[in-house]
Amino acid sequence: MIGLYLIAFLLMASGIFILFQINPYDLLQNLPNLIPKKQVTMKNKIKRSLNPPKPRGIRKIIKESKDILKSSNKLGRFSSLCILSLLLLTLGFLIAGFMDNVFLMPVLAVGLALIPFLYIMLASFGYKKRLNAELETSLSIITAEYIRSENFIGAVQENIEYFHSPVKEIFQNFITQVTLINPDITEELNKLKYQIDNDVFHEWIDAVILCQNNRTLKHTLMPIVNKLSDMRVVSGDLNLQLYDPFKEFILTALFLILEPLFIRSQNADWFNILMTTTAGKIVLAVDTIAFFFCLIRIIRLTRPIEYQR
């Protein structure tokens, strides 16, 4: 019955949007501006500027997903991701509504709404591995040529055709800036540094900046690049161990999802107690909370090996 009420509400809301020609996405974007903001004192503003509060919970997951899309030059997909999340949130309400489980409705809705952002975080691990491999190749080529010629711009220009995305586009933009707009190499290197979120790349850029004033330091570049090779070797050795917890979680989660069907096959009365009584509905909600909480934790723990300064 609750599911039918939800469908009726969604149809009514859709009719209002169509009647008044309201774009749901624009409404979501302007929603924070409609909420009156609490006045913040100057003292609190200073505290926030000195120690900005770090996002937590759902806000942290969304921010990390947005940062991942930005680093991979796919920030334009974030709006589609939000729309998909809204659709899954609605689906969660509908599923719990047809199950007539009020306790499950907010849990399932929020959990399903987070799935697209969690998928982006999980998919980013493969992207980081490919990025590290491309950085290893590109930086090795540039470093070898720079040590030979002592001309950093020339080393990049002569070998940029051998690079691949996204490293190629970043270095192409760097060359364009240096040759056509701003000849200050140091300033452009500092801008280049933060276009790739990788500590080894940042260390390499810092060393290149020092080499602009003292070319004898150019031999310090190759040991830095070798750290990427060490990361690849260690990651290859520990790859199975890193993803074993995730595989075990998938099997455990599969058993948890199929548990109600297993209970129904064994005893129909137990299944009815689980699905129709208040205690059973609370148990389902708690199990769903545990599932999504463990899913978020296992994704955070299953990360590729990275070098940190």
Task: Please classify residue 242 by burial: count the beta carbons closer than 10 Å to its beta carbon, then call 0-12 exposed, 13-18 middle and 19+ buried.
Answer: middle
> Measuring CA to CA, which residue among 122, 127, 150 is closest to residue 246?
122
Q: Give per-residue pLDDT as tens, 194-237.
A: 888 788 888 899 998 888 888 888 888 888 888 888 777 777 66
What average pLDDT does range 233-250 have in this prediction? Answer: 72
pLDDT of residue 79: 79
pLDDT of 264 over the 70 cut:
yes
**160 neighbors 168 (Cβ within 8 angstroms):** yes
pLDDT tens digits for range 88-116 = 888 888 888 888 888 888 888 888 888 98
47 has a pLDDT exceeding 60 = yes
d(CA 272, CA 253): 22
Share of the chain above pLDDT 70, in %: 76
pLDDT reported for residue 228: 82
The 10 Å CB-count burial string (b at 16+, else e) for 121-145 is: beebeebbbebbebbbbbbbbbbeb
> Which pLDDT score is estimated for 17?
64
What whole-number distance in Å separates Cα of residue 29 and Cα of residue 141? 45
So what's the pLDDT on residue 177?
87
pLDDT at 48: 65
Amino acid at 291: F
pLDDT at 240 over 70: no
